[in-house]
């Protein structure tokens, strides 16, 4: 499928409209039903400003971080099936963050622990998948999947030995939950910088998608670039997990859908994925807190319920997946 | 005579414990095309990758233009030296024009976008390899031969002075083999470039290469003008099978015969 400039403009307009619409939807709907924010009374206005809006902003940020991290892992593996959740990065980030919380290492900030956990997992995946000689993307994916379930077991262990009072909260957070998400400005600054740096490297990402050898022949310092991608993807995942727990499938579906719409050129793909990832997670979170209202679902359950069938359909239709 | 494009001094390369070449001495001048011939797995690709700077030799020096290979900054190197890899695989869907445009990467600043001139160059290269009608088509819908020619278009867009080609005629029908090698030959002869290519077909080497390098295995090699080296005795020894030279007055053709009851 080849992308015309006209189609790119269309998609950009739609994505641009989707963002404010999803925000308006998220702040208008809640346990008290549907009320436009400008018609709300004073109590509701406080709810909108102090609860719904911060949560909406957190959802937008986490969604764009996960989608971008997905794009990066896919370039790294040259495989559209890669994603921080499937490769165990989110799991590693969760275990480190959770260990920090339960062991009470309060002097280390949770986002830093999550970042270290994600980075450690990335390193581990590639070292273990390497074996003798070069890694293949299939081997890396398999190693990642196995590591992810290993982290899952560790998480269960930590939860089983923890106290019952905090169990439900932790469980929700682990499944991906935005109800306690806060956008800590301290961590968003370096994350935003990394995001900008990645966007500036878009053409290099295109060249790296052609393979390490080809990229080297076209003048890219491949090793250095791979490390940059490792660290950047781990940071984005770590910050996202620290904010909202391990939300799966956003990093997989969003880049995939956007590639179908705007093509594989990262100069179009990265902004499109970030924008759509943001709206997608916000809409999913709005559904998660209203579908079974007054009960709230963890948003990760919803993204998985949407993501798994959608992904299987895409997998059957898409070509070039090895 | 102008300065050499490539010179190899005392170059020794091994794969593990197997020698590919031992103390290879070679100088390649503008306008020259070197064909590298040898049986499967003898190290033709390894030699090309070493010259491209993708792996280091055991010993010896490689000089590209006026500097040693290692002292070229990577990006400047990519503007002067390009390698057509034996295999190209596309992980993500893109148009043929986008794939060809990737060759401009080393010529552009980190934040620059491809200009209209770059796009014209990409389309011209696609035209040259006979894929002019494919510029807006997906790289996933190409046959083996078409995708080979697309990779060559990328290399032409990269515009290096030294062209390294690893089996450029793989997957190509005879007409396309000739037109691809014509294209390389023209670039080399008319534009002061030089080419090193791994080939399997001694006839094509005889037609298009000014010089040939034969790799016999165990580090043994022979280098010379193709007219001197491409003969029945050398080729039969090189490949370990009977190869006969048939002359029709205009051209010599190397023919392979069946081993049993053969010509020898």
Q: Which residues of A touch B83 (CB under 8 A)?
A: 217
Which tens digit of pLDDT belongs to each residue from B34-90? 999 999 999 999 999 999 999 999 999 999 999 999 999 999 999 999 999 998 888
Report the pLDDT value the prediction gives residue B179, as an integer from 0 to 100: 92
* Contact: B94, A320; criterion CB under 8 Å: no
B83–A218 C-beta distance less than 8 A? no
Determine the pLDDT at residue A78: 87
Q: Which pLDDT does position B71 carry in this prediction?
A: 95
Residues of A whose CB is below 8 A from B113: 267
Question: What's the CA angle centered on A252, arms A131 and A271, to 5 degrees?
Answer: 115
User: Under an 8 A CB cutoff, do B85 and A213 touch?
Assistant: yes
A219 within a domain of the structure (yes/no) = yes
Alpha carbon A292 to chain centroid, angstroms: 24
Q: Which residues of A touch B91 (CB under 8 A)?
A: 78-80, 209, 211, 320
Using alpha carbons only, how large is chain A's radius of gyration in Å?
19
- Do the chains contact at B83 and A200, CB–CB below 8 Å? no
Torsion region of B198: left, alpha or beta (phi above 0 gives left; psi -120 to 50 gives alpha): beta
Residues in B 234-263 with any Cβ partner in A closer than 8 A: none
Check B78 against A211: CB less than 8 A apart.
no
Task: Quote the pTM value.
Answer: 0.90
Among residues B197, B249, B207, which one has the least CA distance to residue B227?
B207
Sequence-ordered list of residues with C-beta below 8 angstroms from that of A53, at least 6 positions apart, any chain: A27
Query: Nearest CA of chain A to the CA of B252: how many Å?
Result: 37
Tokens of A69: 């991290």
pLDDT, mean of residues A183-205 = 87
Give the tens place of pLDDT for each residue, A249-265. Answer: 999 999 999 998 999 99
Distance from CA of B76 to the nearest CA of A (A): 7
Of B74, B98, B137, the CB nearest to A221: B74
Nearest to B105 among A2, A79, A203 (CB): A203
From first to last of its 264 residues, chain B has per-residue pLDDT tens of 589 999 999 999 999 899 999 999 999 999 999 999 999 999 999 999 999 999 999 999 999 999 999 999 999 999 999 999 998 888 888 999 999 999 999 999 988 999 999 999 999 999 999 999 999 999 988 998 999 999 999 999 999 999 999 999 988 999 999 999 999 999 999 999 999 999 999 999 999 999 999 999 999 999 999 989 999 899 999 998 888 888 887 788 898 876 655 444
Q: What pLDDT sits at residue B263?
A: 47
* CATH code, domain carrying A311: 1.10.3470.10
Distance, in Å, from the CA atom of A82 to the CA atom of A56, rounded to the nearest integer, reads: 27
- Rounded-to-integer distance, Cα A101 and Cα A124, Å: 23
DSSP state of B3: P
Number of domains in chain A: 1
DSSP code for B242: -
Q: Which of B53, B72, B80, B92 to mutate to test the interface with A (most CBs of A within 10 A)?
A: B92
- Range(s) of the domain holding residue A239: 57-316
Question: Tokens 């295109």, residue?
Answer: A206
- Put simply, the answer to whether B91 touches A209 (Cβ < 8 Å) is yes
CA B89, distance to chain mean position in Å, is: 18
Q: Where are the domains of chain B?
A: 6-230, 232-264
Residue B66: Cβ-neighbour burial (10 angstroms; 0-12, 13-18, 19+): exposed
Asked whether residue A12 is domain-assigned, the answer is: no
Can you tell me the distance from the alpha carbon of B172 to that of B130, in angstroms, rounded to the nearest whole number?
A: 12
CA distance B128 to B253: 28
Structure tokens, B185? 């030959």
Q: How many CB atoms lie within 10 A of CB B105?
A: 25
Strand intervals (E) in chain B: 6-15, 18-28, 33-37, 59-64, 67-68, 81-84, 162-166, 194-198, 211-217, 220-225, 243-247, 252-256
- Closest chain A residue to B74, measured at CA: A219
CA–CA dist A14, A11 (Å, integer): 5
A7 falls within a domain: no
Longest Cα–Cα distance of chain B, Å, equals 65
Question: Could you tell me the CATH superfamily of domain B6-230?
Answer: P-loop containing nucleotide triphosphate hydrolases (3.40.50.300)
Report d(CA A291, CA A108) in Å as an integer. Answer: 37
Residue B264 to residues A12, B239, B261, Cα–Cα distance (Å): 71, 14, 8
B191 burial type by CB count under 10 A (0-12 exposed, 13-18 middle, 19+ buried): exposed
Given an 8 Å threshold on Cβ–Cβ distance, is A219 in contact with B102? Answer: no
């Amino acid at each position: 499928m080849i992308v015309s400039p006209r189609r790119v403009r269309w998609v950009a307009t739609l994505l641009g409209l989707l963002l404010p619409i999803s925000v308006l939807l998220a702040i208008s709907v809640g346990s008290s039903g549907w009320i436009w924010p400008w018609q709300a009374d004073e109590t509701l206005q406080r709810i909108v400003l102090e609860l719904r809006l911060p949560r909406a902003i957190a959802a937008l940020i986490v969604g764009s971080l996960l989608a971008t991290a997905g794009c990066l892992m896919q370039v790294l593996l040259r495989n559209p099936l890669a994603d921080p959740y499937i490769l165990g990065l989110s799991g590693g980030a969760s275990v480190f963050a959770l260990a920090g919380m339960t062991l009470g290492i309060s002097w280390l900030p949770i986002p830093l622990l999550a970042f270290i956990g994600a980075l450690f997992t990335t390193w581990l995946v590639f070292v273990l998948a390497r074996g003798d000689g070069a890694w293949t993307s299939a081997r890396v994916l398999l190693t990642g999947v196995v590591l992810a379930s290993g982290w899952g077991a560790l998480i269960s262990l930590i939860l089983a030995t923890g106290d019952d009072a905090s169990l439900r909260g932790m469980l929700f957070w682990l499944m991906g939950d935005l109800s306690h998400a806060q956008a800590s400005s301290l961590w968003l600054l370096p994350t935003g910088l990394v995001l900008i740096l990645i966007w500036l490297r878009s053409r290099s990402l295109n060249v790296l998608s052609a393979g390490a050898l080809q990229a080297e022949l076209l003048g890219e310092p491949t090793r250095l670039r791979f490390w940059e991608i490792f660290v950047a993807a781990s940071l984005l995942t770590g910050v996202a997990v620290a904010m909202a727990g391990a939300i799966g499938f956003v990093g997989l579906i969003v880049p995939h859908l956007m590639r179908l719409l705007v093509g594989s050129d990262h100069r179009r793909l990265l902004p499109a994925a970030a924008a759509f990832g943001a709206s997608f997670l916000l809409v999913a979170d709005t559904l998660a807190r209203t579908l079974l209202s007054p009960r709230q679902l963890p948003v990760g359950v919803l993204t998985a319920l949407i993501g798994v069938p959608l992904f299987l359909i895409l997998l059957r239709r898409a070509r070039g997946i090895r | 005579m102008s300065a050499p494009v490539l010179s190899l001094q005392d170059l020794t390369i091994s794969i593990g414990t197997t020698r590919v070449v031992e103390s290879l001495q070679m100088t390649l001048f503008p306008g020259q095309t070197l064909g590298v011939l040898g049986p499967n797995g003898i190290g033709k690709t390894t030699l090309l990758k070493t010259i491209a700077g993708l792996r280091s030799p055991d010993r010896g020096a490689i000089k590209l233009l006026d500097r040693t290979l290692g002292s070229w900054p990577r990006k400047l190197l990519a503007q002067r030296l390009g390698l057509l890899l034996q295999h190209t695989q596309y992980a993500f869907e893109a148009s043929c024009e986008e794939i060809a445009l990737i060759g401009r990467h080393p010529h552009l600043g980190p934040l620059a976008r491809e200009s209209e001139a770059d796009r014209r160059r990409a389309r011209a290269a696609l035209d040259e390899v006979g894929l002019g009608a494919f510029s807006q088509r997906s790289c996933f819908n190409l046959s083996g031969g078409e995708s080979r020619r697309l990779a060559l278009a990328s290399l032409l867009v990269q515009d290096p002075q030294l062209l390294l080609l690893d089996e450029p005629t793989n997957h190509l029908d005879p007409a396309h083999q000739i037109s691809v090698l014509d294209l390389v030959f023209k670039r080399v002869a008319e534009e002061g470039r030089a080419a090193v290519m791994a080939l399997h077909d001694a006839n094509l080497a005889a037609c298009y290469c000014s010089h040939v390098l034969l790799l016999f295995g165990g580090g043994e090699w022979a280098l010379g003008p193709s007219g001197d080296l491409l003969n029945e005795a050398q080729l039969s020894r090189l490949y370990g099978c009977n190869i006969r030279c048939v002359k029709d007055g205009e051209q010599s053709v190397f023919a392979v015969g069946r081993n049993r009851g053969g010509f020898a």
